[in-house]
Structure 1
Amino acid sequence: MAYDTDTTAFERDDAHNLIASDRVEGTAVYNREGEKLGSVHHFMVGKRNGKVSYAVMSFGGFLGVGERYHPLPWDALTYDTDLGGYVVDLDEDKLKGAPSYERGQEPSYDQAYGSQVYGYYGFGY
């Protein structure tokens, strides 16, 4: 059996599985129909486990006025190379009723809030 010992091939392949945080911020978020819902404003990473728990999507508003932030379970997003953004199984009506907050009113992201967010989208926390 032959093994590929070309480490640059591994590095090239591995680079596609990782992305810098500053490149995720601002990435568009679409629904399954290809309609843009918003964009990734930032994401939340566990201090101890280092795993991304939420992508916080900005939604609505104009020039930052009236904009709301919706934490989405990271596992709810799928990257679509054709769209160049993340896809979620949501429509605007479901998003309007989702847990969200306004600028300057960030939640505590404690266990209760995590259960609320993950439960709303049908994920276990």
Structure 2
Amino acid sequence: MSILPRISSATALHGISVVSPSGRRLGTLDDVIVGVTTGRVLHATILLDEPSELGEQLYAVPWEALTLDTAYDRCVLNVPIETLRAAPAFPNRHAVNDADPRLRRMIHDHFGAYRPAA
């Protein structure tokens, strides 16, 4: 039985594996960001197992780019790794300001196929 229920708190999702569509482990789910006024999940942050050549290892991605795989208790990131590596990145959690509308715009501009936050 899966540890991922059909309804979950964001805290319960923290630390689950994030993999590529082929199943290659990329890292872990660091956080899920919710718009308090809309109740909508805006984006997630992923902590990569291997930092990029710039030393950054925390990436912001649209929530819609992830699929929860309850059969294996993990998230599948449905974008190419090259797209992720070019996404908004941060050296650590303290460098991310999730409330900054510029971050949401950067995420939208980079992952164009996903709707921007309201």
Structure 2 residue aligned with 1:28: 17
CA drift of 1:72 comes to 1.2
Query: In 2 relative to 1, CA 119–92 (structure 1 residues): closer, same or farther, beyond 3 Å?
Result: same
Residues 1:119 and 2:109 are matched in the alignment: yes
Q: Report the aligned-residue RMSD.
A: 2.2
**SS of equivalent residue, structure 1 residue 118:** helix
Larger Rg: 1
CA-CA distance at 1:77 after TM superposition: 0.9
Higher relative contact order (CA closer than 8 Å, sequence separation 6+): 2
| Count of matched residue pairs | 108
Q: Tell me the TM-score normalized by structure 1.
A: 0.73
- Residue aligning to 1:19: 8
1:114 Cα deviation after fit: 0.9
Letter in 1 for 2:22: E
Q: Which runs of 4+ in 1 moved over 4 A?
A: none
How far 1:109 moved relative to its partner?
Answer: 3.8
Displacement of 1:83 after TM fit? 2.5
**SS of match in other structure, 1:116:** helix
Q: Counterpart in 1 of 2:66?
A: 77
- Deviation (angstroms), 1:95: 1.6
Evaluate the alpha carbon distance shift between residue 75 and residue 108 of structure 1 in structure 2; reply closer, same or farther with a 3 A threshold. Answer: closer
The runs of 5 or more residues in structure 1 that have no matched partner are 1-14
TM-score, length basis structure 2: 0.77
CA distance in 2, matches of 1:100, 1:67: 6
Q: State the Cα deviation string for residues 56-97 of structure 1 (Å, max 9, x = none).
A: 1101448xxx45211111111111123311112223322211
